[in-house]
Amino acid sequence: MSFHPPLSRHRRAVMLSAVAGAAGLALGPGFTRPALAQAATPAAPFAAGNAATYRFQLGDITATVVSDGLIGGPPAIYASDAGELELGEALRQAFLPTDHLTLNLNVLLLEMGGRRILLEAGAGQTMGPHGGRIFANLAALGLRPEDIDVIVISHTHPDHVGNLRAADGGKAFPRATVFAPRADWDFFVQNEPDLSYMPVPEDFRRRFGAAIKRSVEPYAASIERYDAGDEIVPGLTTLIAAGHTPGMATFLVHSGDAQLLLTADLAYHPVVNIDNAWIPGPDRDKETAQASRERIFDRAAAERMLVLGFHYPFPGLGRMLKLDHAYAWVPAYWQF
Ligand SMILES: [Zn+2]
C-alpha cells in the first residue's frame, strides 16, 4: 500500500501533497493533477464493489454512515509532537504505511422525527480527488440531494463543508437548512482569519481560507448559526469541543437508552490520536483542544458510549477504553 517515490520529481510531489493535506486545498494551476493524484494516492484507494454505506439503529433513529471518500497526508501532520522514529514504529505496528496516513470522510445520515439529517457535509474535491463520493453513495440508498432536510457542520474546515457548493455555484442540497457553529462562522467566514498557526506556506493558507468561503457561499444568506452546547432537534445535541477551531462542536445523538457520540476532529486517526495521544498539527489552540479531547474521551469511556469518528477507518464506529495513562480505540463489530 505504501508509495515509495523513486525520483526526486516524485519527492517534490509528495511534499506538495503534504502541504495540500494539511491545508485542505485543491492545488492551483501550477500543480498538475496526475502528479498530485499519484503522490496523494497510496495505490488504488477504492476496491470496486465494496460497501460505502453502513446502517445501524439507535433506538427509534435509523443511522447510516455514508462515505464521502478519502483524504490524507503525511502522518507527521496529524501527530505534530511525535518523534519521527516513534511515529514510524507506531504505524508499522498497526500495519499502516509510514509515508501517508489515509483519513476517511464518514458523514452520518440520521433519519429521525420525520427528517433526514446529515452530520457534516464532507470534503467534495476541496482536499484532493478522492472526496465527493457522498452523492453517489446517497443515490445507492435511493436518496437525492433534495431529500436532505438538515445539515449540521461540526466546524467549517473545507473537508466538512466542501460538498455544500454545487458545480454551478448553487446549493448542492437545495432544500437543506445548514447549521454551523457561530464562532467558526465569525472566524472563518465573516472575517479574514489569521491562519498563521497552520504549519503550511502562506499561499496555501490563503487558499484554505478561500476554499471555506467558497464552499459555504451558497448558504451564506440562510445559514443557521448555533452555539456549541445547543440542541439542534430533539435527540441531537451539540457538545462544546473548542480548540481545533474556535467553534468546533461534537455531537450526541440519543433515543431512549441508545446513545452515539461523534468526535468530529478531536482525533484524526485512532492510531496516532487515541492509542497514541499525539497532538493534531491543525489544532489552532492546542491546550484547549487537548482539554476538550480529554473531557469528551473520558465521558465516552466512562459511559461506554458508541463513538463515531469522522476520519476514522470506515465505518468509524467503536468505543474508547480508558487505560492507566491513555485510551485505546476498540472498533465495533460489524452488524449484518
Ligand atoms: Zn476534518
Predicted pLDDT of residue 201: 79
Whether the bond into 331 is cis, omega within 30 of 0: no
Give me the pLDDT at residue 207, please.
87
How far, in Å, is the centroid of ligand 1 from the Cα of 169?
Answer: 23
For 21: left if phi > 0, alpha if psi spans -120 to 50, otherwise beta; the answer is alpha
Distance of CA 157 to the CA centre of its chain: 9
Residue 187's SS3 state is: helix
The listed CATH number (1.10.600.10, 3.30.420.40, 3.60.15.10, 3.50.50.60) that belongs to domain 7-331 = 3.60.15.10
The amino acid at 24: G
- pLDDT at residue 294 in the model: 96
- Between the CA of 268 and the centroid of ligand 1 the distance, in Å, is 7
For the question of whether the overall pTM of this predicted structure is more than 0.75, the answer is: yes
Alpha-helix residue ranges (DSSP H) falling in 94-177: 134-140, 158-161
| pLDDT value of position 245 | 97
Distance (Å, whole) CA 156 – CA 248: 8
DSSP alpha helix (H) spans, 202-285: 202-216, 270-273
User: Distance from the CA of 192 to the center of ligand 1, in angstroms?
Assistant: 20
Please give the distance, rounded to the nearest whole angstrom, from the Cα atom of residue 50 to the centre of ligand 1: 23
pLDDT tens-digit profile, the chain (336 residues): 333 333 333 333 333 333 344 334 532 332 223 333 333 444 455 667 788 999 999 999 999 999 999 999 999 999 999 999 999 999 999 999 999 999 999 999 999 999 999 999 999 999 889 999 999 999 999 999 999 999 999 999 999 999 999 999 999 999 999 999 999 999 999 999 999 888 777 888 888 999 999 999 999 999 999 999 999 999 999 999 999 999 999 999 999 999 999 999 999 999 999 999 999 999 999 999 999 999 999 999 999 999 999 999 999 999 999 998 889 999 999 988
- Whole-number Å distance, alpha carbon 7 to ligand 1 midpoint, is 31
